[in-house]
Amino acid sequence: MTEDDKFLGAFETCTLPFEQWHHREHIRVAYLYLCRYPLETAMAKMRSGLKALNMVHQVPEALDRGYHETLTMAWMHLVHCTLCEFGPGETADVFMDKQAQLLSKRALLLFYSRDRIMSLEAKHGFVEPDLTPLPQSRKSVKLPSQVTE
């Protein structure tokens, strides 16, 4: 079992310590799901996993806390597009180190105004960007480890 498998297992069983759950770890989970599943399945797994982890760690729901649909889905989209364009790394850490733009928490502000991304509407449902569309890859990624469901 690889370190990536152990990490994803800890996410899925909600045993990741809350103090070790940061932006990089969110991107790591997104990448690992996108390497294993088609986009829609990966998005659903990320959504349910984040909600479960927040529940276990008793994260309060507020505009700036708890699960945020637009933030989650926009990041999934950016990781997916990056994976399509540049391909996977040997590990999630290698991928993220090569794609450091994904590690900037402010990257979504290239696409969304702060008011739009921090709105109640964006928290509860996906909203499209108001500054510029999210990037689209002309390539598709089909990895041997992807499971079709």
Q: How far apart are CA 115 and CA 117, in angstroms?
A: 6
Strand partners, 62: 65
Mean pLDDT by 10 residues, the chain (149 residues): 96 95 97 96 98 95 92 97 95 97 96 97 97 89 56
Asked whether residue 55 is assigned to any structural domain, the reply reads yes
Q: How many domains does the chain have?
A: 1
- 135 is a domain residue: no
pLDDT of residue 130: 98
Structural domain range at position 47: 3-124
pTM above threshold 0.85: yes
118 assigned to some structural domain? yes
Exposure letters 64-89 (e unless 16+ CB within 10 A, then b)? eeebbbbbbbbbbbbbbbbbbeeeeb
